Chain A
Amino acid sequence: MSAVLTILVLLSITVAIWQMVKIFDLANAKRENSQVADDKDNRVNGILMLVFLAFIYVITIISFVNWGHFPLVSNAASEHGPQIDNLMIISMVIIFIVQTITQFLLHYFAFKYKGEKGKKALFYADNDKLEFIWTIIPVIVLAGLIIYGLFTWSDIMNFEQDDDALVVELYAQQFNWKARYAGEDNVLGKSNVRLINLDNANILGIDEADPYAQDDVITTELHLPKGRQVIFKMRSQDVLHSAYMPHFRAQMNCVPGMVTEFSFTPSMTTDEMRNTPEMIDKVAGINKIRAEKSEELLKKGQEALDRYEFDYLLLCNKICGKSHYNMQMKIVVESEEEYQAWMKEQKLFKDSLVQN
């Protein structure tokens, strides 16, 4: 109902404006009614150009103040993360400077050179020197960004396997994630979706005869030890998914029919992340919002929202169907000991099969 009212209000505003314009036109009937801008239009719109420039700056400032905490440029929880964050900050600073200057020039010139009857513009068609300058400056800046970017990219993507690296498979299906650990031998057993057998609970299609597969461990939570390189092998059984782990600056698509790879080394446990001042602030902010929402919900007789506690997450970031928006898995980063203790509690693949 409120929405219909909103639309009615907007419609009547439109009608009102139309009427005002009509009156304006009638009042100007004696003036030249050519629908071509005259000096008055130029003056008004010239001033509005400055107002609009101010609006752009204001919305920039408001956005930075309210939402400019940028969890994606600080507090990286992986060893390669700060590299990306530095590049991001450099790029953003450059963008910010160019944006501020060019928008100023554009709107200020629009205001300054607003048309007047009888004035003549400067006939100024070409200047090779200027063209050269604003070709070469972007060339230099971009060359720097490209080189920095390429080194960062190549560092992250062309990783070498450490001796103690942990091999984990991320397995995607509509609409959940599974993790498969390689076990003692640190080699994942062979797998193919054609081997899936729901009757004996071989849900990931692992080759039951493969000796490497026997000690694999399948879990629904991703636990990672801090400080050890993790090599992810991504698989999907149905459609494209994307394994997005924003806190670790990590993302890779999961593609049916092939195995994709990504690697990072977690550098902060879940507990350490929860106790950083930024995260304490952020969580407090979120809980304040949730408390307000809960009050409203309670008034309506609905259940209140849970208090939020921070956890690392793996999100699906490639459109995959109806519940794409809720395809997530919790990630826990912990010390090596805690990780080993957790791992001991998990069932090995060979023991997880149901014998009929």
Chain B
Amino acid sequence: MSAHAETHAHDDHGHHHHKETFITKYIFSQDHKMISKQYLITGLIMGIIGIIMSLLMRMQLAWPDEPNAIFSALLGKWAPDGVMDADIYLALVTIHGTIMVFFVLTAGLSGTFSNLLIPLQCGARDMASGFLNMVSYWLFFLSSLIMVISLFVEMGPAAAGWTIYPPLSALPMAQPGSGAGMTLWLVSMAIFIASSLLGSLNYIVTVINLRTKGMSMTRLPLTIWAFFITAVIGVISFPVLLSAALMLIMDRSFGTSFFLSDIFIQGEVLHYQGGSPVLFEHLFWFLGHPEVYIVLLPALGITSEVLATNARKPIFGYRAMVASILAIAFLSTIVWGHHMFVSGMNPFLGSVFTFTTLLIAIPSAVKAFNYITTLWKGNLQFNPGMLFSIGLVSTFITGGLTGIILGDSALDINVHDTYFVVAHFHLVMGISALYGLFAGVYHWYPKMFKRMMNKNLGYIHFWVTAISAYGVFFPMHFIGMAGLPRRYYTNSAFPLFDDVSNVNAIITIFALVGGAFQLVFIWNFFYSMFYGKKTVQNPWKSNTLEWTAPIKHIHGNWEGDIPHVYRWAYDYSKPGHDDDFVPQNVPLKEGEEELHH
């Protein structure tokens, strides 16, 4: 206890070593805490754009052909007389996917919390390279800007799906979005990947080299393990997407034939010869599948921390949790082919990928069971972050289980690219990762902004979101099981699906309500920044090191020496201690065993 009482005292007369101007403090900051806030706010803005796009799609699916004032207002020339254009529907599908996967759930989630927590929880003064960290953020900002600008080009933004399979994405005559819109998409993503690589390298180096005295790898909080392994997967897989994007740029602009061959379109034969779209699919999914875990692992890491803290109980099975993160990371790089069972690749490859894919269910199941056991006989404190963590476990299970069907090549023949897939991945990675983001924001808001968010608004936000998320995605499985393909602008061309597509209106209403209630969160977030209750040193009575740093943000994180670490992060309710938590910087008592090793 004495350790953080001390730092608290310092905080009142904290002094700065560097003179800071407005620009170095708020804009070109090299301080990881400021950079994490920049990531978060940029991610939130992109998230609002992404969610609005999904609501437009939902309204189109529920009430096709009906003139809609919102369409005219937001889409302008793309919705003549309020009826959405079919090309722009595909553009919405594409940009919604891109923004949510990369800009919100990769940069917004990992960028925010890796930046905030890696130095603070490892006990480091800052990231290994503050400069690269700053560059990483500004590249992300630039790529976000380009992506947003691409929405306003003459022929519309990219519209080939977030997977941008060529030839559709390579040929401007195949669809309008494959012109300038696709060029900007590719440029934006190339910059995004550079940003992500700089960030990931920084995270890896910081975790390996800058842990404080006593912070062995086996004492690291699971958040850091998750961020660390996520960064490793990112460094392995993102460059492959970069090379695919560069090759696609060459096919588009310099006449090469990496992905194209034998094409006759709009009355003429094109010169391309010898390339294969299947090669692009391999390259894309070599990133694309690990990307799912790049999104999900940080959310699971945050959940581990928030769940244990609020259950006032050690996370159950720490070593098994670390082992399953490692197993998931390893397996995630050898399962990409399950997106390509019916792509025309050799059926034997399909067998191999079915095998590796279904294996991932094992470490995932271990994680789910460990979370549930962590709750058992706990003393659960239902702070908003805790609710979102429990919500994450729930959607992770519901969404993860259907992966058993999709990962099985024989079954995938029939549900591939139907709404079953849409329901599956939205629950298991979309909603779960979003819950992870929310859990993280509610939990670490006091650390970031020195004030507390309003808990009652947090409760309203969680419960409405939880109900609408299930309301949207649970019935969606059934549309998929009826064979309705995804990415259809309207289902009215197929009377065959009339009896299931009437569920679309119900889904859309859940989506609109859920979407509207995100405003509660946005309000809470910005209002609390200025008028929220001031936080105390350690509001959630947590063990990790970030809560020993002074509330006021200072360069170098701690006044004086960095605290040393004597125990793991999960000594909650440990017998022999008066409090139900023992921070990591509290030395072991005489005769006390560090139970978990």
Contact = CB atoms under 8 A, between A and B. Distances in A.
A342 interface: no
A323 interface: yes
A71 interface: yes
Contacts of A34: 452, 533, 536, 539
A68 B377 contact: no
Interface stretch (B14-22, B119-127, B566-574): B566-574
Interface in B110-157: none
A35 B314 contact: no
A45 B384 CA distance: 10
A11 interface: yes
Contact of B358 (A84, A142, A286, A328): A142
A251 B488 contact: no
A107 B394 CA distance: 8
Given A106-B390, A121-B311, A196-B269, A45 B382 contact: yes
A285 interface: yes
Contacts of A10: 512-513, 516
B318 A240 contact: no
B342 A194 contact: no
Interface stretch (A133-141, A223-231, A347-355): A133-141
A319 B485 CA distance: 10
Interface stretch (B204-212, B229-237, B238-246, B402-410): B402-410
A206 interface: no
Contacts of A317: 416-418, 485
B86 interface: yes
Interface residues of A, number: 136
A36 B381 contact: yes
Nearest to B467: A55
B366 A194 contact: no
Interface in B436-474: 452-457, 459-460, 463, 466-467, 470-471, 474
Interface in B164-194: 165-168, 171, 174-175
B464 to A, nearest CB: 9
Given A102-B368, A124-B316, A3 B59 contact: yes
B471 A146 contact: no
Nearest to A136: B362
B380 A126 contact: no
* Chain B, interface residues (CB within 8 Å), range: 35 or more
Interface string B63-85: 00000111000000000000000
A115 B380 contact: yes
A198 B378 CA distance: 74
Interface of B: 59, 68-70, 86-87, 90, 93, 160-161, 165-168, 171, 174-175, 260-265, 267, 269, 274-278, 311-320, 342-344, 347, 350-351, 354-355, 358-359, 361-362, 365-366, 368-373, 375-383, 386-387, 390, 393-394, 397-398, 401-402, 404-405, 408-411, 413-418, 452-457, 459-460, 463, 466-467, 470-471, 474-475, 477-479, 481-483, 485, 487-491, 493-496, 498-500, 502-503, 512-513, 516-517, 519-520, 523, 532-533, 536, 539-540, 570, 572-575, 580, 595-596
Given A130-B373, A196-B269, A317-B485, 20 more contacts: A3-B69, A6-B512, A7-B516, A21-B454, A37-B381, A42-B380, A46-B380, A52-B463, A52-B466, A88-B411, A95-B404, A99-B397, A121-B378, A149-B408, A289-B499, A305-B495, A308-B495, A319-B93, A321-B87, A325-B488
5 contacts: A14-B519, A70-B478, A91-B411, A113-B378, A153-B351
Closest 3 CB pairs of A and B: A257-B261, A157-B347, A246-B483
